[in-house]
Structures are given as C-alpha cells and as structure tokens.
Amino acid sequence: MEQSKRILGLTGDGDDGWGVFYRARALKDAGVPVIELTIGEHDIRTHPSILDAMHSAALAGHTGYASVPGTAKLRDAVASRIETRTGVSTTRNNITITPGGQSALYAAHTATLNPGDIGLICDPYYATYPGTVRGAGGRVVAVPCHPENGFQPQRADLEQAAIGAKTLLVNTPNNPTGAVYSAKTLEMIAEVAQAHDLWVISDEVYDTQIWDGSHLSLRALTGMQDRTLVVGSMSKSHAMTGSRVGWICGPEPVVANLINLSTHTTYGVPGYIQDAAHFALDQGQALEDEVAHPFARRRQIALDVLKGQNLIKSAPPQGAMYMMLDIRATGLSGTDFANALLDAEQIAVMPGESFGTSAAGHVRVAMTVADDAFELALKKLISFAAHQAQSA
C-alpha cells in the first residue's frame, strides 16, 4: 500500500541539521553532562498558580468536550489582549483557540492555500515552516533574509518571490535569529502583500519578548486587517509549552471556517487547560514580564561575553530567546562547527543551516539554561572557535 505524497513529502532528505540535537540528547541519556543550547524550552516551568487553576478546573468537572472554537471567556480574553496591544478592534468572533501555535500555523495555511499554491516563508525560518506549508498542500518558496541586513527581508527579494504566490508567513520577533522587524520592514511587507494580493500569516508567539525596539503587529497596518491571520500562543509568554494553547486571530468569515476545520481535526482544546490559560492571561503584564526576564538578562550576559573578542560576530538579538552567532571565521560550516563543539566541549547548539540557507556559517544559541551555565558555555564556545580558526 502506498502512503500519500503529501505525508511522505513533509520534510526533505536528511535530518535538516537536527542530528546535533539528537546526538546531544543521546549523550545526556548516557550520563554525559551536556549543556543544551538547542531548543526554545524555558528552564523555568509553568507558574504554580496556573497549575493550581488547571487542577481546580479539572476537579470542578471541566474535563468533557470543550467548545470547539474555544471557551467564550478565553476567546474574549485573547481578543481583549490583542485589541489592547494593537489598537485594532477585536472580538471573540475574530478568535479561534487551537492546540498550540503549531496547530494554528497549519490551520491558517489550510485556510488560505489551495493544492499547488505557493506559500512564502522568510529564510532563516523556524524548522517546521516548510513542512507546514507542504502539509497544507502548498509549494514552499523561501525569501532570503541575509545577516548583513540584520536578517530582515528586503523589498527586491520579497517582490521577486511574491510573483504568483498566495501566502506569506512572517515571524517577528524571529526564531531563529532574534530579529524584530522594524516598522519600515513591516510597512514594506504590507505594501507588497497588498500589491500581490497575498494572505499574510503573522507568527507573533514571541511578542512579549522584546529587548530592543518595539513589536508591531502586521494586522494593525492600513489595509492589512482583512488579509492577515495572526498566530499567538501561551507557550512562550507564559511558559506553557506543554499545555498546547494557541489561537488564530483573523477576519470573521475565515475564523468561522477555521472553527469548522477544528471540528474535523482537533475538536478543540481541553476545557480545564483553557480555564488555566484564561487565569494566566488574567494575571496581566506582571506574569509575562516574570517569564520573559531571564532571557533579557542572559542576552546582556551574552553581549558582555562577546564584547571581549572579535572572532565571533553577532547582531544583538532584539527579541525572543535566541541569538545567531557568525562562526564563518573558523572556516567551518554551522553543522560542522556544532558537531565538533559537541564532541570537544559537550555544548550543544543548532547549526544555522537547520533553518535555511541564509544563516549558513552560523549557529543558533538558545538562552535557556541558568545564567552561570550559559556564560560558561559561551566562553567555552568562543575559546573553541579561536582554536578552530588558528588551525584553519
């Protein structure tokens, strides 16, 4: 029996650079003290008060089928949060709750792509983006975002890629680069999207992690409200990665069809988890700041460590929990550097090549371990890079 071409073609050949991550996990399982700077998983866990709310909701009986679009009070809370942050009128009818941001990305592309349509993604990209577009039946075209431009897309590149395309997936603050798209960049994206009649899917899951500049939602720009689907999540803002609570905010007719899609796929998110998410949002900015603060602190640690040398370069991360390090002076690719660093120093980082071609010769560092371990790992990484450069 043959499997579908769609499922077999979700990812390309090879491991997409994730071999380093799998090797690091195998070493840790074997008892090797590896410092993992690989994936975006908080080193703190979900706040106990959120877990208490989840537990109370479950004990109170909210364990049956929940409303597929999401509970009214959670949709209202998400809508209120978005309206307050963006100034764009938003109601529960603009919101559907999803099992995490990844489910929202897939649903948004399913809603906007026909089989064979071109879906644009910005390169470097989060590792699941190509498979998400392919899974929805689309053809992936990458828009290069080069390090010399701060990993921000340029009009000429986007205009060229947009010819004949149907969707554009944008992520700011950005994983993997830490870039926060400027107002000028976002206005350019809006102009190109309207000129080429593109749906824009705006992944804004890191909107609470801004270290330099400010976050601007594409949906808030003139002419974009009716062609933008915003993806949000509790994962990064509230350290609720395993709870799987996300959302899509978009035009009412699209949201109505997305609810229909959920009825035929996920059938919603457990009610007691939605109640916990509502409780978490109700705690306001203070809790979000508490979750975000360690990454701001570690960003400064990284900048201080990097200041003492000129071999490894990095555009200071403006947001999110990652930074890209340019290791091209070592003469190694990102993949070779990451594998060699793991072998020599038991430090795991992600090759830039894992996220497309524009970050080749880079490695991504996740700022997700304790401050002292993070600082030690960076110092060892720099020392290792210096040794590699001398040997080249």
242 and 341 in a single domain? The answer is no
CATH number of the domain that 377 lies in? Answer: 3.90.1150.10
Instruction: Please tell me the number of Cα atoms within 13 Å of 241 on its side-chain side.
Output: 11
Do 300 and 333 lie in one domain? The reply is yes
Residues 181 and 278 in one domain: yes
106 and 120 share one domain: yes
Model pLDDT, residue 18: 76
Q: Looking at residue 315, what is its pLDDT?
A: 84
Among the candidates 283, 313, 329, a domain finishes at 283
Q: Give the helix/strand (H/E) hosting 25.
A: helix 19-29
98 and 117 fall within a common domain = yes
98 & 244 share domain: yes
Do the domain assignments include residue 225? yes
How many separate domains does the chain show?
A: 2
Query: Residue 110 maps to which CATH number?
Result: 3.40.640.10
Mean pLDDT (the chain) is 96
Q: Domain range holding 87?
A: 64-283
Structure tokens, 351 = 């090759």
332 shares a domain with 255: no
Same-domain pairing of 302 and 369: yes
At residue 16, does pLDDT exceed 70? no
**Of 234, 267, 283, which residue sits at a domain end?**
283
Residue 52 belongs to a domain: no
292 occurs within a structural domain: yes
Q: In this model, does residue 9 exceed pLDDT 80?
A: yes
- Which residues have CB under 8 Å from 132's CB, separation 6+? 102, 105, 106, 109, 169
CB neighbour class for 1 (10 Å; exposed up to 12, middle 13-18, buried from 19)? exposed
Do 190 and 297 lie in a common domain? no
For residues 256-285, average pLDDT: 97
* pTM summary value: 0.95
Closest to 346 (Cα-Cα) out of 8, 24, 15, 7: 24
83 shares its domain with 228: yes
| Residue 392 scores a pLDDT above 80 | no
Tell me, what's the pLDDT at 13? Answer: 61
Q: Is there a domain that residue 56 lies in?
A: no
Q: Report which of 218, 288, 240, 234 is spatially closest to residue 70, judged by C-alpha positions.
A: 234
Q: How many CB atoms lie within 10 A of CB 68?
A: 18
Q: Are 279 and 291 within one domain?
A: no
Q: Is the pLDDT of residue 10 over 70?
A: yes
Interval 51-86: pLDDT, tens: 999 999 999 999 999 999 999 999 999 999 999 999
Q: Do 108 and 33 lie in a common domain?
A: no
Domain stops at, among 265, 283, 301: 283
Is 57 contained in some domain? no
The contacts of residue 220 (CB under 8 Å, 6+ apart) are 86, 87, 88
CA–CA separation, 229 and 165 (whole Å): 16
| Inter-helix orientation angle 371-391/334-345, to 10° | 110
